[in-house]
Structure 1
Amino acid sequence: MKNVDQRLGRRAVIQNGTLLLTTATFAPSILIANETQSSLKVGLITDLHYADKPPAGTRYYRETIGKLDEAVSQFEQNPPSFMVELGDLIDAADSVETEQRYLRTIDQKFSAICNDRHYVLGNHCVDTLKKEEFLGAVGQQNSYYSFDRGGFHFVVLDSCFRSDGKPYGRNNSVWTDANVPAAELEWLKADLKSTNHRVIVFAHQRLDVSSNHGVRNAVAVRRIFEGSQKVSAVFQGHSHQNDLKDIGGIHYCTMVAMVEGSGPDNNGYSTINLEANGTISVEGFRKQANYRWDS
C-alpha cells in the first residue's frame, strides 16, 4: 500500500536509495530530545470531505468512509502517539443539521483511532457550521493552539478568516480569501519565542504558495517561522496533491487528499516519524508520497 516519492526537493539528495533533505541549522538554544528516546509517531490524514452525496468530478465523498476504515486498520497495527486531521474532514452541506450528521458519522470512525486527536479547521469544515459548532462536536477547545510531545513543539494554525477579519462560518466564507489574522500572528510570535524545542506546524491552507490555495498573508507567517529559527516543517493540505517545498530552510509538505479518486488505490494517509536526533520522515500509504530529511 506504500507509495515512494519520485520528486526531489530543491535541497534533496539520494543516499543509499533514501530520499534525504537537509533543514536549516537551528539555534544552539533549541533542545534535542534524548538520543535514546524512541521515535514519536504522528498519524496524519487530510481532506476527507465526507458527505452522503454522489461524486462530483474527481471527488468521491461517500468513499472516504471505506478509505478511513483502511487507515484505521493500519494505525491499529502501528499505533501513533497522536492523530492530526489537517482540515476538510467534511464537505459543505445545505443545512446545519445535515452538516452535523456528516460530522458525527465520519468523526465516530476517526475518533476510534486514539484519544489524543487534533483537528485543523478547513474551509469546508466551517462553511455551513460555525467554528464553535465544529469544535464543540469534536471536543476541541480552540481553533489554534500549541502543545508539546516527545521533545517537539507542535503548532496548530487556523487560516479560516477573511481578509476583513471575519471568521469563516455559516456560508460567509470565501475559500480564495484565507488569512491568519493579526491576533493569531501575535500569538504565534509569542508562542515560538516561549519554546526551546524544535517546532512542527499543522495547517490547512497552504503557506508556501501565492495561488488560490494559499494563505493570502503567507509571507508574514513565514517571516515569523524563519525569524524564530525553530520551525523544522509545516504539514498542510487543501490543494489535494503531494508537494514539497523548501523555503528559508523550512520544509512545507502538502499532503494528498483522501477524497480524490474512486477505490482503495486512490486512498492517501501517512505516519510522520520524528526521531530524537531531528530526523523527520513521512511514511506514505497508497497515493501519499514518502519523504525523509535530517536536521
Structure 2
Amino acid sequence: MFLDRKNMNRFTANLKRLSMIAAFGVAVVASNPTAAVFAKSDEKPKFEFGLAPDVQYSDYDPSGTRFYRNSVDKLMDASQTFNQQGVGFTVQLGDLIDQDFSSFSTILPVYNMINSPKYHVLGNHDFAAPTDTVIDLLGMPSEYYDFKYKNWRFVVLDTNDLSFYANFKGSEKYEQAEAMYNSLKESGAVNAQTWNGGVSNDQLTWLRSVLDKAAKTNEKVVVFSHMPVYPENEHNVWNSEAVIKELEATDNVVAYFNGHNHAGNYGAKNGIHYVNLKGMVETADTNSYSIVEVYKDRLEIEGYGREEDRILTIQN
C-alpha cells in the first residue's frame, strides 16, 4: 500500500483550501504563477479527470531510480482512487510499458480496473510492436484523436509521429524523422535525442482544424501528449515550436499535460499552462498521479505522492 491512498486524498486537499481561507479570507495570488483567487471553499467542480503518467511496467529488476515491477501496485492504487473519487474519465500519458510487448498483458488489465472511460496516449516505450498492433491492443481510434466531455474538447497528440522507433527504416516518415533529427543535431539543440520524436505536418493540420472547430463552438481545450513542448528541455518534441504555434493560433487552449520527463516540469506561455507530470515508475514506494478538477475559471490539480498540487487559472 502506498502513501497516497492513506494520506493524499480529497479531504487533505479541502483542509488546505480551508486553512488558506481561514488565514486570508480568500486565497491570494502569490508568486506562484499557477495560483488563483477563489472565494468558495465548498464550490464543486464541473467534473474531474484522472492522469497516470509513465507507468512503464516491465518484469525487470530496478534500474537506477526506476522500479518497473512496482508499477503494478502503483497503478492499482491510482485506479482505486479514480474509482473512489468518481472521475469522469482517465488518461494514461504514454509509456504504459517499459519494454516487451508481453508487458501489456500484465499492466493493461490493471488500468482497465478503472470504471469510467479510459484513454491512451502513445509513448516512446510503447512501441514494442508495430504501431497498428499497439493501437489495436489499446483500443485507440488512431495515433492521435480528440473527444468531447461536458462541452470541453480534449485532444490527444502523437509525439512519436516522426521518430526512429515508430516507423520502419526506409519509410517516408522515418526519412522525415531522420532529416528533422539531423538538423537539430547539427544546430546543437538539447532535444536532439533519439528517444524523442516530432509531429508531422499532417498532424499539425489536423490539430489546427480541431482547435478551429472547438473555438467556433466555444469549447475550452485541454491537450494530452507524451512529450513536452515547453519550457525548453532535452525531452521536448523535436519541432516543439511548430506545435506551440498551432496551440496559440486560437484562444481556447487552457492546458497541455504530458509525461516523458520523469522529473516533472511546469511553464506558462501566452495563456497556456504546460504541465509535465512526474513519472509513476520512479522510486520504490512513492506513487505519482493526479486528479484534475475543472471549474469555470481554473483547473485544480490534486497531486498524489510525488506529484504537486497546482491551480491553473483560465485566462481566456
Q: TM-score higher than 0.5 here?
A: yes
Q: Which residue of 2 aligns with 1:178?
A: 197
Structure number with bigger Rg: 2
Query: Considering only aligned residues, what root-mean-square deviation do their CA atoms show, in Å?
Result: 2.7
Q: Which residue of 1 aligns with 2:181?
A: none
SS in structure 1 opposite 2:79?
helix
Q: State the 1:161 CA deviation.
A: 2.7
Q: Which residue of 2 aligns with 1:66?
A: 73
Higher RCO (CA 8 Å, separation ≥ 6 residues): 1
Distance 1:80 1:115, change over 3 A: closer
SS in structure 1 opposite 2:134?
helix
Q: State the 1:294 CA deviation.
A: 2.4
Q: Which runs of 5+ in 2 are unaligned?
A: 17-26, 37-42, 178-192
Q: Which runs of 5+ in 1 are unaligned?
A: 6-13, 24-35, 94-98
List aligned pairs for 1:16-55, cutoff 5 A. Answer: 21=34, 38-55=45-62
Distance in 1 (CA, whole Å) between partners of 2:165 and 2:202 is 12
User: Which whole-Å deviations, capped at 9, do the CAs of 1:221-242 have from their partners, x for residues lacking one?
Assistant: 1111111111000001000123
Q: Which residue of 2 aligns with 1:273?
A: 293
Q: TM-score, normalised by structure 1?
A: 0.82
Q: Which residue of 2 aligns with 1:30?
A: none
Partner amino acid, structure 1, of 2:115: C
Matched, 1:293 2:312: yes
User: Which whole-Å deviations, capped at 9, do the CAs of 1:39-96 have from their partners, x for residues lacking one?
Assistant: 2110110101100011111110000001112112212211210010000000123xxx
Partner amino acid, structure 2, of 1:122: G
Aligned length: 263
SS in structure 2 opposite 1:245?
strand
Distance in 1 (CA, whole Å) between partners of 2:206 and 2:213 is 11
Counting strand residues as a fraction of each chain, which structure ranks higher?
Answer: 1
Counting helix residues as a fraction of each chain, which structure ranks higher?
Answer: 2
Partner amino acid, structure 2, of 1:251: H
User: Which whole-Å deviations, capped at 9, do the CAs of 1:19-50 have from their partners, x for residues lacking one?
Assistant: 67379xxxxxxxxxxxx995211011010110
Q: TM-score, normalised by structure 2?
A: 0.77
Is contact 2:91-2:121 (8 Å) kept? yes
Partner amino acid, structure 1, of 2:28: Q
Is contact 2:301-2:311 (8 Å) kept? yes
Q: Which residue of 2 aligns with 1:204?
A: 226
SS in structure 2 opposite 1:148?
strand
Q: Which residue of 1 aligns with 2:238?
A: 216
Distance in 2 (CA, whole Å) between partners of 1:208 and 1:218 is 8
